[in-house]
Amino acid sequence: MNKIVREKNPLVHCITNYVTVNDVANAILAVGGAPIMADDIDEIEEIVAKANALVINIGTLNQRTAASMWAAASTANKKNVPVILDPVGVGASSLRNKVVTRLLKNNQFAVIRGNLSEMAFCAGKDSETRGVDSNSDDKKFSAAEIAKIVAEKYSCVAVVTGAVDVVTDGKNFAQIKNGVPAMSKITGAGCMLSGILGAYIGACEDKFSAAVNAVASMGIAGEISFEKFSEVGTGSLHIGIIDALSQIDDEIISARGKIVRYEN
Amino acid sequence: MNKIVREKNPLVHCITNYVTVNDVANAILAVGGAPIMADDIDEIEEIVAKANALVINIGTLNQRTAASMWAAASTANKKNVPVILDPVGVGASSLRNKVVTRLLKNNQFAVIRGNLSEMAFCAGKDSETRGVDSNSDDKKFSAAEIAKIVAEKYSCVAVVTGAVDVVTDGKNFAQIKNGVPAMSKITGAGCMLSGILGAYIGACEDKFSAAVNAVASMGIAGEISFEKFSEVGTGSLHIGIIDALSQIDDEIISARGKIVRYEN
Amino acid sequence: MNKIVREKNPLVHCITNYVTVNDVANAILAVGGAPIMADDIDEIEEIVAKANALVINIGTLNQRTAASMWAAASTANKKNVPVILDPVGVGASSLRNKVVTRLLKNNQFAVIRGNLSEMAFCAGKDSETRGVDSNSDDKKFSAAEIAKIVAEKYSCVAVVTGAVDVVTDGKNFAQIKNGVPAMSKITGAGCMLSGILGAYIGACEDKFSAAVNAVASMGIAGEISFEKFSEVGTGSLHIGIIDALSQIDDEIISARGKIVRYEN
């Protein structure tokens, strides 16, 4: 599906954190999309209306940008622009919890992507396990279980990233075993993936397969870079990931993708 | 003129977008300038007053920074600090249009730089071609025509970047044919150029030649990096541009510059 | 002490400028810490409370983030989270002076790090030499003198960076002669050092030695990168510093550290 992304060159509007915003823009360009970053509430609706996808990443949210996120998501829903949510660090502060809860309550997302802890919050499992009912069984949920709950609860594609990534829309299920642990030694691998998801989702009809391909693209890029730079260091690993994303194509994804579709 | 930039080490105050700000700072350093980024209205006037040039880039403007841009431009004009305007994405939202229109109405710019669409907006040609008089001839203006209109309308050096870059102050005209299409696959080439323009304009008396040299420097850096990294990827291309900028000198510009001065 | 940092993986909360924030995050990860960037006043106290260190860098402060800095420093003091202050550009505007003065007056810092000019401001020596008593001897203070004054005045570890770096807690003194002048041709070496100080201080009991090791780590990383990339350019120098930081260990610091402890 990467060929479709490169042909359609989807415009991906990002409201994203200032830590990794440059990497997100370059990652979107690398896989064939066109990024636009804009976060002022006075222009958010006009920009969303032109976009093929909207990516909301709450990494360095503030009260000003939170309002922009709410407005952008609502406009995107009205205009049928698919929205990707990256609830970075949700659970770490009541502000993040409030913003994500409001987004999830009022808006429809095409994809929600996070690590197990962030996705457990979206699944409502964080509050259960830490809530007043402290005598309850402190069940740990697997990535596959959390993904399914999120997909069904919000009628979206859920992506739980970790050592093995899980993607599901509640009906189709896939595990992606690409990627290397060293990717966690640079900042931005998750944010870049959410940007890439915007490009794939903005270009492709089949949202589940688009998400699977986006996740595999990021993991494969990490592997290719790690093969070159594991002995060099994390600065080069970082740059090598962008290099590899810019070279990715459907042949590489077919050849290197460790994608296992499974029945639930 | 790069020698002059490196000798004078001009202080370039940037109010710029958070997507490419790191690249802009490193590009200014690479060609011999000294960047300072500051955008709070409470300090903007003090910082501008110390600077040799001010660069205003509206890439991720918001209502807070728009007010800072207006104040900074006014102070710069009072203090005879040359101002470079990069109207990123003007035409894409009414906020951007309003901010740029107000800047152009109230302030004097040494250089205005943008792509053809952005510069056409500044030239007042965007509204003409899309306005109510939809039966009118939907004339397309060339980069050279738009540059001349902007230069004359605002008594500035106009730089229209594209496959061929055009620079004019309304009397002198140059085309610069350096650069490679792959530069559009990384974010920030335009923003870096606007930063470099700040360094050259802040150091050199002859604003037209300074702009021509800045544009050639950026294009040549793109070519040098592309020669090394075209097979590697856009992450390396990005870093290679900064590398090449840091090695640029007047000999390289003379040897590699594809600068054609022309009569209008 | 780098081994301790890598074992403890301290969470370093940064309120830092948007120019170099990506480098700061990657530098913290490279030496073994875990960065979290958050600057909204509504979440600052919750994030600080989870952190092992707080880094306040005023590089692109604004009125909103200044309030967050004040709140974060106060919470950190209450929770015994050590705070690192990087007073970037203090002296350049009354806003910066006001924010730093208020921070220094109301809060306790584990480390204050700056260049000679910034640290002279903290020492109160800037105003003396430029004040009303213009007939007074316009004494220039050395880095060692300024460091000692800051360390004693604020009961902290003072780090004055320059051609030779000075570290003191008022009782112990060290000069670190690592690093290369070319590091000043990229933006962010100072900011990265302040981030690394957060990781070392957040993990180690002995704050003076932690600071010495952090300063040496940064200088050595600059040297290693310069040995590889001095002929290539500043883009590669930048990436090479992150590479070298990710490879740093106590053996490298012992072998390459040019650390001279001295009596005052």
User: Chain B: residue nearest A228 by CA?
Assistant: B232
Burial (CB count within 10 angstroms: exposed 0-12, middle 13-18, buried 19+), residue C171: exposed
> Nearest-CA distance from A95 to chain C in Å?
6
**Hey, are the CB atoms on A40 and B19 less than 8 Å from each other?**
no
Q: Given CA atoms A51, A57, A60, A61 in this order, what sign does their dihedral have?
A: positive
Q: Given CA atoms C239, C243, C244, C245 in this order, what sign does their dihedral have?
A: positive
Count CB atoms within 10 A of the CB of residue A244. Answer: 25
Q: Which residue has the tokens 């457990």?
A: A120
Q: Given CA atoms A198, A200, A205, A211 in this order, what sign does their dihedral have?
A: negative
Mean pLDDT over B64-82 rounds to: 98
Specify the pLDDT at position C128. 44
Count CB atoms within 10 A of the CB of residue A161. Answer: 25
Contacts of B228 in chain C (CB under 8 A): none
Q: How confident is the model at residue A210 (pLDDT cuts 50, 70, 90)?
A: very high
**Hey, are the CB atoms on B29 and C63 less than 8 Å from each other?**
no
Residue C23 vs residues A74, B4, B17, B240, C213: alpha-carbon distances, Å: 34, 30, 17, 17, 19
Neighbours of chain A (3+ CB pairs under 8 A): B, C
Contacts of B243 in chain C (CB under 8 A): 232-236
Given the DSSP bridges, would you call strands C53-57 and C83-86 parallel, antiparallel or unpaired?
Answer: parallel
Question: How far, in Å, CA of A75 to CA of A15, rounded?
Answer: 14
- Please tell me if residue C78 touches chain A, with a CB cutoff of 8 Å: no
Interface ipTM > 0.90: yes
Q: What percent of chain B has pLDDT over 70?
A: 95
Residue B106 vs residues B45, B48, C210: alpha-carbon distances, Å: 16, 17, 53
List, for residues B12-37, the tens digit of each pLDDT value: 999 999 999 999 999 999 999 999 99
**pLDDT beyond 60 at B127:** no
Question: How far, in Å, CA of C75 to CA of C54, rounded?
Answer: 10
Q: How confident is the model at residue B98 (pLDDT cuts 50, 70, 90)?
A: very high
> Nearest-CA distance from C162 to chain B in Å?
17
The string over A99-122, giving b where at least 16 C-beta atoms fall within 10 Å of a residue's C-beta and e elsewhere, is bbbebbeebebbbbbbbbbbbbbb
Specify the pLDDT at position B123. 97
Specify the pLDDT at position A95. 97
**pLDDT beyond 60 at C130:** no
Specify the pLDDT at position A263. 85
Q: Do C67 and C41 contact (CB within 8 A), yes or no? A: yes
Q: What percent of chain A has pLDDT over 70?
A: 95
Q: Do B63 and A40 contact (CB within 8 A), yes or no? A: yes
Its pTM stands at: 0.96
Any residues with CB less than 8 A from the CB of C138 and at least 6 apart, and which?
A: C129
- Please tell me if residue B246 touches chain C, with a CB cutoff of 8 Å: yes
Q: Do C200 and C214 contact (CB within 8 A), yes or no? A: yes
- Please tell me if residue A24 touches chain C, with a CB cutoff of 8 Å: no
Q: Which of B59, B62, B187 sits opposite A26 (nearest CB)?
A: B187
Question: How far, in Å, CA of C168 to CA of C159, rounded?
Answer: 7
Q: Which residue has the tokens 């605002």?
A: B154
Q: Do C191 and C23 contact (CB within 8 A), yes or no? A: yes
Q: Which of A35, A245, A246 sits opposite B187 (nearest CB)?
A: A35
Specify the pLDDT at position A130. 39
Q: Which of C21, C64, C243 sits opposite A233 (nearest CB)?
A: C243
**pLDDT beyond 80 at B50:** yes
Given the DSSP bridges, would you call strands B165-168 and B157-161 parallel, antiparallel or unpaired?
Answer: antiparallel
Q: What angle do CA C187, C236, B165 make, to 5 degrees?
A: 80
**pLDDT beyond 70 at A255:** yes
Specify the pLDDT at position C138. 52
**Which residue in C43, C38, C46 sits closest to C13, CA to CA?**
C38
Selected residues 34-53 of chain B with any CB under 8 Å from a CB in chain C: 35-40, 42-43, 46-47, 50
Specify the pLDDT at position B126. 62
**pLDDT beyond 70 at A122:** yes
Q: How confident is the model at residue A136 (pLDDT cuts 50, 70, 90)?
A: very low
**Hey, are the CB atoms on C95 and B43 less than 8 Å from each other?**
yes
**pLDDT beyond 50 at B11:** yes
Q: Do B74 and B106 contact (CB within 8 A), yes or no? A: yes
- Residue B100's Cα: distance from chain center in Å? 14
**pLDDT beyond 50 at C132:** no
Best probe of the A interface among B234, B236, B242, by most A CBs < 10 A, is B234
Q: Do A4 and A209 contact (CB within 8 A), yes or no? A: no
Q: What percent of chain A has pLDDT over 90?
A: 93
Helices (H), chain A: 2-8, 21-31, 44-50, 63-79, 94-106, 116-123, 125-130, 143-154, 189-203, 207-229, 234-247, 250-256
Q: Do C26 and C69 contact (CB within 8 A), yes or no? A: no
Q: Which of C60, C93, C233 sits opposite B37 (nearest CB)?
A: C60
- Please tell me if residue B113 touches chain A, with a CB cutoff of 8 Å: no
Specify the pLDDT at position C140. 80
Q: Which residue has the tokens 């000798």?
A: B7
Q: How confident is the model at residue A126 (pLDDT cuts 50, 70, 90)?
A: low
List, for residues C151-160, the tens digit of each pLDDT value: 999 999 999 9
List, for residues B210-242, the tens digit of each pLDDT value: 999 999 999 999 999 999 999 999 999 999 999
Average pLDDT in chain A: 94
Q: What percent of chain B has pLDDT over 90?
A: 93
Question: Would you give the end-to-end CA distance of chain A in angstroms?
Answer: 25
Average pLDDT in chain C: 94
List, for residues C18-70, the tens digit of each pLDDT value: 999 999 999 999 999 999 999 999 999 999 999 999 999 999 999 999 999 99
Residue A214 vs residues A170, C109, C189: alpha-carbon distances, Å: 18, 44, 34
**Hey, are the CB atoms on A42 and B93 less than 8 Å from each other?**
yes
List, for residues A82-113, the tens digit of each pLDDT value: 999 999 999 999 999 999 999 999 999 999 99
Average pLDDT in chain B: 94
DSSP H or E segment with residue B83: strand B83-86
Count CB atoms within 10 A of the CB of residue B254. Answer: 10
Question: How far, in Å, CA of C158 to CA of C259, rounded?
Answer: 16
Q: How confident is the model at residue A139 (pLDDT cuts 50, 70, 90)?
A: low
Specify the pLDDT at position B130. 39
List, for residues B128-163, the tens digit of each pLDDT value: 443 334 444 456 899 999 999 999 999 999 999 999
Residue C120 vs residues A29, B201, C94, C128: alpha-carbon distances, Å: 45, 32, 16, 10
Question: How far, in Å, CA of B151 to CA of B109, rounded?
Answer: 10
Given the DSSP bridges, would you call strands A165-168 and A173-176 parallel, antiparallel or unpaired?
Answer: antiparallel
Q: Do A25 and B19 contact (CB within 8 A), yes or no? A: yes
**Which residue in C27, C1, C186 sits closest to A238, CA to CA?**
C27
